[in-house]
Amino acid sequence: MSEIRFDERVAIVTGAGTGLGRSHALGLAARGAKVVINDLGVSTDGQGRSSEAAQAVAEEIREFGGEAIAHGADVADEADVADMVAKTMEKWGRIDIAVNNAGILRDKSFAKMTMADFRKVVDVHLIGSACVTHACWPIFREQQYGRVVLTSSSSGLYGNFGQANYGAAKAAMMGLMNVLHIEGMRDDIRVNTLAPTATTRMTEDLLPPDVTKLLAPETISTGLLYLVSEDAPSRVILGAGGGSFAQTRVYETEGITLLPDDNTPEAVAAAFAQVQDPAGQAELTDAFSQTRKYARKAAEAQGLPLSWTD
């Protein structure tokens, strides 16, 4: 396989001042990309503001001969993001890659969590990802080329105590990806989701020392580089950590169909083991795949003709 390169490509990487974002940015730059290092410079819970981290990474890239600029946009602020995109276009005339990595944590059990903390985490992760991608989208369409990565988490895909806000935001990445994948297909805009487990400043206090060594950000960024490459897939959730990579998929069981006279809560309860039976389960590729499935099964069960076919 030929070497994956990003020569003449321009990438925006959010949250790139530390941890995973820094690793992603350095990896892109090492393979030829011009990189915008975005970082608001806040604490892990979103407090404060500083340009030092972003400037340091940009300088690190320039020192090894790469091209980079720093920008301290708040990803959830449309005006800030618009300024970042405008300055990128002024500098390099194009944007090819948007890596949405910026994030904060405000962990508490749901009973003790304030709605302000819930909204803030959703704003940074979900609204921030949408803001950056939305600002780049017209450029991608005009170029007939774009690569987007959203960052999810095992907390969003599988759950984690004390992270209702974070988990909700991270689960939302799948829905955003699925729709943007469909809407971007015509213009060669490919959209994927990275679900990393890494040692970062948000996780280092939660992991034992031997584990932190195994889960270095650099072991994950290789997968990120593939997801934003020219030959990238689209609509993939890539789990990554410690050099391991796996695809997360959502399947729907074949399920049951109840006739109108039998469609009662008791009937659903009685057949629930069959509802959960994984035999014949399938991955659905869009919302209407499920609609067509249910309409077909209902028509077949009642012996009715159906003009709408798979």
pLDDT at 196 over 80: yes
Query: Per residue in 12-70, pLDDT tens?
Result: 999 999 999 999 999 999 999 999 999 997 556 556 566 899 999 999 999 999 999 99
User: Helix count (H) and strand count (E) of the chain?
Assistant: 12, 10
> Distance (Å, rounded) from C-alpha 276 to C-alpha 85?
47
> Distance (Å, rounded) from C-alpha 154 to C-alpha 193?
12
Q: Residue 68 pairs with which residues in a beta bridge?
A: 35
Task: Please pick, among 166, 226, 251, 294, the residue that the annotation labels catalytic.
Answer: 166
Give 10-248's CATH code, choosing from 3.40.50.720, 1.20.1260.10, 3.30.70.1140, 3.30.60.50.
Answer: 3.40.50.720
Question: What pLDDT was estimated at residue 233?
Answer: 98
> Distance (Å, rounded) from C-alpha 216 to C-alpha 230?
26
> Distance (Å, rounded) from C-alpha 203 to C-alpha 198?
7
Beta strands of the chain (E only): which ranges? 10-14, 34-38, 67-71, 97-100, 146-151, 189-196, 237-241, 244-248, 251-252, 282-283
Q: Are strands 97-100 and 10-14 parallel, antiparallel or unpaired?
A: parallel
Residue spans per domain, the chain: 10-248, 251-302
- Please report, for residues 148, 161, 254, the alpha-carbon distance to residue 189 in angstroms, rounded to integers and kept in the order given: 7, 35, 32
Q: Residue 148 pairs with which residues in a beta bridge?
A: 98, 191
> Distance (Å, rounded) from C-alpha 259 to C-alpha 299?
10
192 touches 238 (CB < 8 A): yes
Torsion from C-alpha of 261, 263, 266, 272, nearest 10 degrees: 140
283 touches 251 (CB < 8 A): yes
> Distance (Å, rounded) from C-alpha 85 to C-alpha 70?
12
Q: What is the mean pLDDT of residues 72-96?
A: 98
Token look-up 């009662």 returns 264
**pLDDT band (50, 70, 90) for residue 132:** very high
150 touches 100 (CB < 8 A): yes
| Residue 234 DSSP code | S
For residue 205, which amino acid is it?
D
Q: How many CB atoms lie within 10 A of CB 13?
A: 35
Percent of the chain with pLDDT over 70: 93
Whether 251 is a known active-site residue: answer no
Q: How many CB atoms lie within 10 A of CB 275?
A: 12
Query: Per residue in 255-276, pLDDT tens?
Result: 999 999 999 999 999 999 999 9
**pLDDT band (50, 70, 90) for residue 202:** low
294 touches 287 (CB < 8 A): no
> Distance (Å, rounded) from C-alpha 84 to C-alpha 79?
9
Question: What pLDDT was estimated at residue 41?
Answer: 77
Q: Residue 97 pairs with which residues in a beta bridge?
A: 11, 147
Question: What pLDDT was estimated at residue 98?
Answer: 99
pLDDT at 300 over 70: yes
197 touches 215 (CB < 8 A): yes
